[in-house]
Amino acid sequence: MNNKIGLYFAAVLCLILAVPSGAALRYNVAVDIQREGDKVKSERLVEQVTVDGDRGRIDFLAPDGSKPENGGYMLTLDGGKTFAWSDGGQAVCGNWSLEEFFGTVGALLEKGTRFINAELPEAQVEKTLEEPGPEMHGFPTTHLRLDTKFGAKGRVLIMKFEYSVEQTDDVWMTSVLELPALERRWVEMMGQTGFEYIDAMLATWNEEVTGVVLKHKNVVRLTNLQSNKVSVKTETMEVTEFERLEPSQIPEGTFAKPECRQVDQRKMEERAMKFIRNSLK
């Protein structure tokens, strides 16, 4: 399993589309990432999401969309209260609540900013565009653009750093579909980490992005104000395939819970730290 797409991306996208009563849903999500700095690096991540009521499974696919033999996956049978995930070998299970997970993320961020004596000026988030977007998968969309500016400076021992960040988010969303309970809860918990700086930025995002996101292009321009070195990351997420399924069309074993090893608080902290690192890359 590609760990970069693991908890960080899969859980964010899990169950983003509503499923009508008596029907299941399967869709593919592709993420294209390009980093420009000293060198240009590109990668493509692909997932297949299958949802049936409270049951959800995310399979991590190859870049061409094919399903690897013994490929990795994540599985929930209770609307996201608990998860099992596998890298194709030994599966592990977690009984953490979303409150616990994001509370841990917030605590780690707070600890990190204290360690580096970070100063975080107030972020500026502005909606600069709202217009009708193209039809996607048969649904009308609205195109939003949000521009965000923020920065950070601090020091570790005698080493000082100072960065500025300019971020542009283009979002194509539809109001025809509804966010299911799990996704609404995920979004709420992401904005309640207890780390006020991040919570405030996410609150602004949630005020503007009120529909189901079918495509999202994120461009981040990071400037090292001491060296004037600039790096740019462009990440585009798009729902590429979308189909409704009758329960009888779901392959047998899709929601079979694997034998798995339970993980503890230490493992949750490791996952939370990986979430933070992947979010900052």
Nearest-CA neighbor of 199 among 191, 209, 190?
191
Q: What are the tens digits of pLDDT across the range 245-272?
A: 888 889 999 999 888 877 766 766 676 6
Q: Percent of the chain having pLDDT more than 70?
A: 65
Maximum average pLDDT range among 81-90, 200-209, 225-234: 225-234
Q: What are the tens digits of pLDDT across the range 59-74?
A: 989 988 888 887 888 8
Q: Mean pLDDT of all residues in the chain?
A: 76
Q: Quote the pLDDT of residue 136.
A: 93
Annotated domain spans of the chain: 6-280
Categorize the per-residue pLDDT at 98 as very low, low, confident or very high, splitting at 50, 70 and 90: low
- One-letter amino acid at 201 equals M
279: pLDDT strictly greater than 60: no
197: pLDDT strictly greater than 70: no
What's this model's pTM, rounded to 2 decimal places?
0.77
143: pLDDT strictly greater than 80: yes
Q: Quote the pLDDT of residue 5.
A: 37
Q: Which of the pair, 87 or 20, is modelled with greater confidence?
A: 87
Q: Quote the pLDDT of residue 55.
A: 84
Separation CA 226–CA 236 (nearest Å): 29
Q: Quote the pLDDT of residue 2.
A: 36
Q: Which of the pair, 26 or 100, is modelled with greater confidence?
A: 26
45: pLDDT strictly greater than 70: yes
- The stretch 36-63 carries a mean pLDDT of 84
